[in-house]
Structure 1
């Protein structure tokens, strides 16, 4: 059974050998010895020709004669080892039997040597051994390059994911998770730039909260707000509304921006009614604790200017316009459990909602009386969406 490390070494087949010798009969001899044994042999007659060949093709082992004109084997070996691309290429020097030549061969960087006349079995063993080392080295280099590439890709992906998470965290402060996720996936944040849009705005708050906060301990106030925000925030996300802000007991949500919403009035009213049911459950608990708190809602439809407001490190997404003021004034005018809506919101509802007209109502800060409608509830059990 091969050891575990052997699995990394490619099969030793098709070993590529470059034979460098100025004598044609020696080159022919090397071809005759190596090629029948499966080696792929290329031969050159000089050192310069050998260097050109190494620049053109891949080689596993060089068999290099010492005594050659113009550029001898020692200088050729030095140049091979000095080039970063061939520095690890095994070079076998073919020398005479003298000790001095063998020492010189090792000094210039030769990996091994054979002496003339050479023993064929010895030559095969040396070439195969060095070719195996070369193949292993090539495998390690390839794996290193692949690892570096993979590491760079991983770092890039991690950086992108961190940026996406930061964007998602920023967007989720005022968008539902599913909408924030879609924006992050698309990479489109153009909606943050100032623009106008016809939106349906929902404003809610608690009746009696100011008096409650003045007479209660801070811990009690925060506990009430925590339960209130949790209940309403879940519904904002469920109905895919855009959360403009929490301000104490006040909550402002709008529909049809950033994502378009064809049924914005219906969705806003249905959310408000479900919020009212949730707060009814909370109000029962609060009464047992001695707190008398009610819930009112105002909903208006109209054009607003929307976009990012704030400063670096603290941005919000805001809607500015008369429609937001109308929603806030309708909410202020609502009594406990009332959901008051503007005429445009009423026009956007269908027969699944029961409403009644309250006639013209003067709202603080609004120049003319506004025809106000109260939403009583829904007819039937239509589910969202």
Structure 2
């Protein structure tokens, strides 16, 4: 399942041995190296000594919690560019606290395996591409194709992300989406599972099989429970977002894939 020329190294910060084994089992198919730390302080020590590409951080741990550890990782110029995904069972304000501490992403335990895998892969791709450029140029407006039968969903994606930050295209079904892709070559595809006609899964698979389209990152908009079907089908995704949509998370998810698309374009032109 790995899409990398060589494995990358993930530091998993988790004090619970059972949960460490569960996360290891979820990530093992990706083919990356996994190392573990039992708390925030041990994570900081390991990051100073080793070369890591991603941190998966629990929030509640002895010695130093994940929020403080994340703050210190992002405050140190030597480690600030390492992406941190907070993975916690905490509810209430845990997401806001994670992002306030500088986390790059947030997932609740127990994490859906497909969602954890695609988020890890996308952050690692961005990490790998970013290392190729001393200072990437500011991205131009991303061209985003939003495919959904729902006018509300199409409008929400555009308004949540910001119509001034991207050029948006729309389609309601698979055939219309294929025509838009061939005519305009979008940078990002936001694909709802609810289409007027055709299949979101078939469209994603067809893009993956087309050499000139497979690098277009796909953000899947899904209803509760639908990710399990996608996991069994192994349809290619770069990210997924559950409906109904909330503006901050829509903005973050589309922005992440726009960044990935921009770096891929720079790498392709290098």
What TM-score does the superposition give when structure 1 sets the normalisation length? 0.34
Higher relative contact order (CA 8 A, sep 6+): 2
State the structure with more CA Rg: 1
